Amino acid sequence: MTRRDVEFDAEGTTLRGWFYRAEGATGRAPTIVLAHGFSAVKEMYLDRYAEHFAAAGLNALVFDNRNFGASDGEPRQEIDPVAQVRDYRHAITYATTLDEVDATRIGVWGSSYSGGHVLVVGAIDRRVKAVVSQVPMVSGSKNIGELVRADFRAGFREMFDADRAARYVGDPPAMVPVVAEDPLAPSALPTPDSWTWFTETGKLRAPSWRNEVTLRTVEMLGEYEPEAYIARISPTPLLMVVAREDHLTPAHLAIDAYERAREPKALEILPGGHFDAYVDDFDLAGTVARDWFVRHLT
């Protein structure tokens, strides 16, 4: 397979990534658009998924989210989920301009935070003909309710309000770690497996990853409700891949949301935890996603 660096305009912000050419393709081929989850950059195993898809005759367009990695955007390290949804749509538009891409056969893949994004994109953008949502964050408010102790939430609200006032007078945004070794210390993703995966994967594969996001990122997470769109994805085929031992985006929340989706749909349960989808359970996660796209796009 061949991979080339690409960049495209997202209404004034340049996003950068990789385009993988489908193996054996001589003309226009189906294409999968992929972006990563909360604060992660494309080097954190998205190449494995793209290679897996390309080997099956599917093009893959992988890009870094705005404000992260190789992509432009300010403020750095800020995640606006609505902007990231729009950027998936910009990426689809860019893909359809490429000679190798069949614009009538576009799929979207997302994982964790972007697993929620593709639920929204699949519901509102009919250019999408197949959706794979892996270990998705389906409800910001419910997810925070699972991860953050009730007696800590008032303190976060005070921090959000103080940050809003400071930004108003021109101060830089307050920052918070993505992960912390102590799960009770302030961080955006307060689980032990989050600390292990991000720190180890950052050292191993992604030196551009930074262990910080803006405080407002956490506020916007709590406002984001992808599950509100899930019944609107139909008749676009939806595959949801859930990890049985997921404590970061709890499996029961994803399965509850899946039950509200309409046909055609399918559910795959991975045996491990949230981050096993990228490593120990990759063979299963990557294969079921690949097969879903092959079935519905080829």
pLDDT tens profile 181-202: 998 888 999 999 999 999 999 9
Predicted confidence at residue 185, as pLDDT, reads 86
Q: For residue 152, is pLDDT > 80?
A: no
Annotated domain spans of the chain: 2-140+226-297
pLDDT, the chain, mean: 96
* Number of neighbouring beta carbons within 10 Å of residue 74: 9
Q: Note if the pTM is more than 0.95.
A: yes
Q: Positive or negative CA dihedral for 220, 221, 225, 229?
A: positive
Q: Are strands 238-243 and 128-134 parallel, antiparallel or unpaired?
A: parallel
% the chain with pLDDT above 70: 100
Predicted confidence at residue 91, as pLDDT, reads 98
In the numeric block, which tokens belong to residue 297? 């796009």
Instruction: Give the residues across from 243 on adjacent strands.
Output: 270
* Residue 177 preceded by cis peptide, ω within 30: no
pLDDT mean over 265-279: 98
Architecture of the domain whose range is 2-140+226-297: 3-Layer(aba) Sandwich (3.40)
CB 241 within 8 Å of CB 254? no
